[in-house]
Structure 1
Amino acid sequence: MAGLDLTGRTAVVTGASRGIGLAIAQAIAAAGGNVVLTSRSQEAADAAAARVGGTAVGVGAHAVDEEAARRCVDLTLERFGSLDILVNNAGTNPAFGPVIDQDHGRFAKTFDVNLWAPVLWTGLATRAWMGEHGGAIVNTASVGGMAFEANIGLYNASKAALIHLTKQLALELSPKVRVNAVAPGVVRTKLAESLWKEHEQAVSAATALGRIGEPADIASAVAFLVSDAASWITGETMVIDGGQLLGDALPFREGAGIGL
């Protein structure tokens, strides 16, 4: 599809040193786009950019550091002349356990990175370029923002808020800027290790499509959402979870006589 071609467009992807963020950067570059990857350290950002290759540039910028974010946006415009795509991918989850057992520091860090950072970067990108020239923004949410799970309630609350924020921003920034989100299920990343590493087979068996996700599964959806092929889509949250949100698939397979 010609609409998937991103040649001549420039994307900033936050939290792109590994996992889903790196895969998104690689997918955008593969579609012809220029990519600026951010990470908390310059070294990690440079290493990620080297893995993407081509015109990719790494920038050391903690997602909640406003001055670093501003420098990144300025550098992007100086280097490439536009900022057409923003992927707010940086995320964290320092709060594990019941919600009432968490302290304010963990709460603040979770919501600063998962919710404030997308507001910060979206504002900077819009004022610097997209507000006048148009653009596409994708926020990395989670299926956790649509359900309830033990021990990661604060993280899920931040992602639920991000889903709501996506719709709010889609209205506020229309018609120039499209704002969407992706909601991954359990994906093979370091951030989600506690959800799959010790019991991947069980999680896969309970998933309708029979496996956990890979970063590339999310990246291909993001590349679609920021492309012209999705030019009439805004305010949406695309669930990419292999059917995990549907519930345990195993009883349905057994009832239909389908073997694993």
Structure 2
Amino acid sequence: MSTAKRTVVITGGTRGIGLGMARALLAGGHRVAVCGTDLDRIEKLRAELTGTVLVQPADTSDRVQLSELWDATVDRFGPVHVWINNAGVSHRRAPLWSLTESETRKVVDTNLIGVINGCAVAIAGMAESGGGHVWNMEGLGSDGRSVAGLTGYGATKRAVTYLTKGLADEVPAQVSVGLLSPGMVVTDLLTHGYGDDAELAKARKVFNILADHVDTVAPWLADQALTQTRNGAHVAWLTTGKVMRRFAAAPFRRRDLFDSPESA
């Protein structure tokens, strides 16, 4: 973990990878602001998290609320050095045409509009305050591969990758943007929406080869988020080489990532 103390904002930081990164950063003595939409979780984390931390409700699809998060962070901690657009949701695994408008709109509003809003707020604020780095989170679909039943989700993640690469050519001096790719991490987002137990059991066979727990991936991502801040940076946990090595070792290595409270 970087020794220089930084102020970091993480959207969707009240659960999953975002919360894991927040915990790692706080353990390293950094100043962290997180937001979410579940008020009960927010109150719980306000009592639970230790360190220099701000936990605030904010819906990323509302730019005004993200501006309020920015202002609250600056008022509490001073200039923001790193902003991580981590908030994301998925839909049930089904053909796109069978999803309701509200289901697809929630995914697009959170995964794409929310990232656009976060980028707009953070880049403008960092340009005024002397600089900083914005990270956007990749996910399934970012590399152009399609998975049946996750077309809507994948389309938003593909768009986020294009958005970030485009922003790298637009950001003002001293502000930079990049992509964080966490790979497969055992959270409710990974296991969400399977039609039945048999379908999920089949998917778990792949997850047990390629996925990792939050506590394994999040500290590494947090460190990279502080140290790999060149414009256009692309940081990936699950590289092609790692995928090949894990499949090669799978017949000789037994992993059960779901036989643990951490998988909940």
TM-score by structure 2 length?
A: 0.81
CA contact (8 A) 1:69 1:121 kept: yes
| Partner SS state of residue 188, structure 2 | coil
Distance 2:167 2:216 in 1: 25
Match of 1:259 among 231, 252, 256: 252
Letter in 2 for 1:39: G
Structure 2 partner of 1:82: 79
Distance 1:6 1:64 in 2: 32
Structure 2 partner of 1:202: 205
Distance 1:200 1:152 in 2: 14
Letter in 1 for 2:171: L
CA contact (8 A) 2:127 2:173 kept: no
CA contact (8 A) 2:27 2:51 kept: no
CA contact (8 A) 2:122 2:134 kept: no
Residues 38 and 253 from structure 1, CA distance in 2 versus in 1: closer, same or farther, beyond 3 angstroms?
A: closer
Structure 1 partner of 2:217: 218
Deviations 1:200-250 (CA, angstroms, capped at 9, x unpaired)? 75125543xxxx2112343234323332x324x332333323759947965
Structure 2 partner of 1:58: 55
Structure 1 partner of 2:260: none
Please list, as runs of the form range in 1=range in 2, the aligned pairs for 1:166-185 lying within 5 A after superposition.
166-185=164-183
Please list, as runs of the form range in 1=range in 2, the aligned pairs for 1:62-211 lying within 5 A after superposition.
62-146=59-143, 147-194=145-192, 198-199=201-202, 202-204=205-207, 206-207=209-210
- In the TM superposition, residue 182 of structure 1 has moved relative to its aligned partner by 1.8
TM-score by structure 1 length?
A: 0.82
Distance 2:77 2:148 in 1: 44
Q: CA RMSD in A?
A: 2.8
- In the TM superposition, residue 106 of structure 1 has moved relative to its aligned partner by 2.5
Runs of 4+ in 1 over 4 A off after TM superposition: 242-250
Distance 1:199 1:53 in 2: 39
Segment drifting more, 33-42 vs 141-150: 141-150
| Partner SS state of residue 151, structure 1 | coil
CA contact (8 A) 1:96 1:151 kept: yes
Letter in 2 for 1:259: F
Distance 1:114 1:224 in 2: 23
Distance 1:116 1:66 in 2: 9
CA contact (8 A) 1:206 1:244 kept: no
- In the TM superposition, residue 74 of structure 1 has moved relative to its aligned partner by 1.0
Listed as ranges, the gaps of 5+ residues in structure 1 are none
Deviations 1:155-180 (CA, angstroms, capped at 9, x unpaired)? 01110111111111222115412211
Distance 2:3 2:202 in 1: 38
